[in-house]
Amino acid sequence: MSEQRLSTLSQSQTSAFTSITCHECGYHIDIPHLPNKHKAICPRCGYRLTAYREHATQWVCALAFSALIFLFIALPFKFLSFSAGGQSQQIDILSSIELLFAQDYAILGLIMASAIIVLPACILLSLLLILVPLQFGIVLPKASYFVTFIFAILPWAMAEIFLVGVLVSLVKISSLADVGIGLSFYAFLLFTVAMSAMLLFLDEHQLRSEIQGKPNRAKKYSDASKSIQTTWALLLTAILLYIPANLLPIMVTDTLGDEQPSTIIGGVVLLWQSGSYPIAFIIFVASVLVPVAKIVILCWLNFSVQFAHQDLTIQRMKWYRFTEFIGRWSMIDVFVVAVLVSLIQLGNVMSIHPGHAVIAFCGVVIVTMLAAMSFDTRLIWQKDPSDNE
């Protein structure tokens, strides 16, 4: 895709402007109508304001509808099967969630259900509810509220992360027993691909322009001290949760009555010793390096705005975007535990149960995501954090 900065637009492209406020630095900009496959970049912080693609609405509709169909197909059929010691078990996605609730792992089941079914379905249905009438020239009442809802829950929909977690689970147990893949697995794979492709065409500014709503999420400046204090509180909570998340077992394997607890680091070491180097590296990065890196970077960013540092503004913005991108992927280990607990329940032959660390680690991921959301990036561009304009 070609890229065009606002300061270099030709005169012929500046006939019609739309006012937009940069979500990350608060800079007010007038942007022209963009040619096909062009995007507008904030000249101040480099944030991508919007991108225009012809027929994007039709693509979003088609891909959202396809993703929704694949999601429904993925629910009732066999997802994975596992056999060892003459016993076998197979699960579908819904039964795996039911099993987590039945075995008093309700928090784990709720997280799994919300991240891979409920929230993605809400996003897809909301988009179709807005865009299908729009194809006939009908604007749904309160459509702008649906757009706000969609982009608010979008970071919490984690189908692609769950899929990676399933693949990691298969590698972990492939040496222990025979593992089978069912129709639902392939349907879920297609659902994930369709939804990821849909997000490539989904642009908030263009969507709001289609429904003639507000041009963007031009949020008001909140109290700077409140934003800073909230971020510090969430980061402190994440640090406290990170300690038990690494010291306590994240899952317990019971083989013929012999219980073997496994911590996050212990699981990485075991995978490395078994020769699964890529998977061990992925788990180490996602479950150890990423949470630490995110906490350290957010602490540095919050400290810098609290004391009104003026240097490295662009670099700080890039580091913030990095934390936003990587933060969700730490959920891989949580989904690995959820899949293994659901799949491997063979009585005395072999069973896997979640350890206390899985809830603590899940808390780390959620709280650090909330800390990144509470951090007001526009404070990076203010001379005084008490200056709220």
Give the pLDDT confidence score for residue 256 in this predicted structure: 64
Give the pLDDT confidence score for residue 6 in this predicted structure: 44
Between CA 311 and CA 304 the distance in angstroms is 9
Delineate the domains of the chain, giving CATH numbers in brackets.
Answer: 1-54 (no CATH), 55-157+171-218 (no CATH), 223-376 (1.20.140)
What integer is the mean pLDDT of 251-255?
A: 76
User: Any bridge partners for residue 88, and if so which?
Assistant: 83
Give the pLDDT confidence score for residue 163 in this predicted structure: 92
Of residues 242 and 212, more confidently modeled: 242
pLDDT tens across 160-201, in order?
999 998 888 887 777 666 778 889 999 999 999 999 999 999
Q: Enumerate residues 6+ apart whose C-beta is below 8 A from 22.
A: 28, 29, 42, 44, 45, 47, 49
- Which of 141-145, 211-215, 241-245 has the lowest average pLDDT? 211-215
Choose among 80, 252, 89: nearest CA to 167: 80
Model confidence at 378: pLDDT above 70: yes
What integer is the mean pLDDT of 146-157?
A: 92
Give the pLDDT confidence score for residue 220 in this predicted structure: 52
3-state helix/strand/coil string of the chain = CCCEEHHHCCHHHCCCEEEEECCCCCCEEEEECCCCCEEEECCCCCCEEEEECCCHHHHHHHHHHHHHHHHHHHCCCCCEEEEECCEEEEECHHHHHHHHHHCCCHHHHHHHHHHHHHHHHHHHHHHHHHHHHHCCCCCCCCHHHHHHHHHHHHHHCCHHHHHHHHHHHHHHHCCCCEEEECHHHHHHHHHHHHHHHHHHHCCHHHHHHHCCCCCCCCCCCCCHHHHHHHHHHHHHHHHHHHHHHHHCCCEEEEECCEEEEECHHHHHHHHHHCCCHHHHHHHHHHHHHHHHHHHHHHHHHHHHHHCCCCCCHHHHHHHHHHHHHHHHHHHHHHHHHHHHHHHCECCCCEEEEECCHHHHHHHHHHHHHHHHHHCCHHHHHCCCCCCCC
Q: What is the mean pLDDT of the chain?
A: 83
pLDDT tens across 42-62, in order?
888 888 888 888 888 899 999
Share of the chain above pLDDT 70, in %: 87
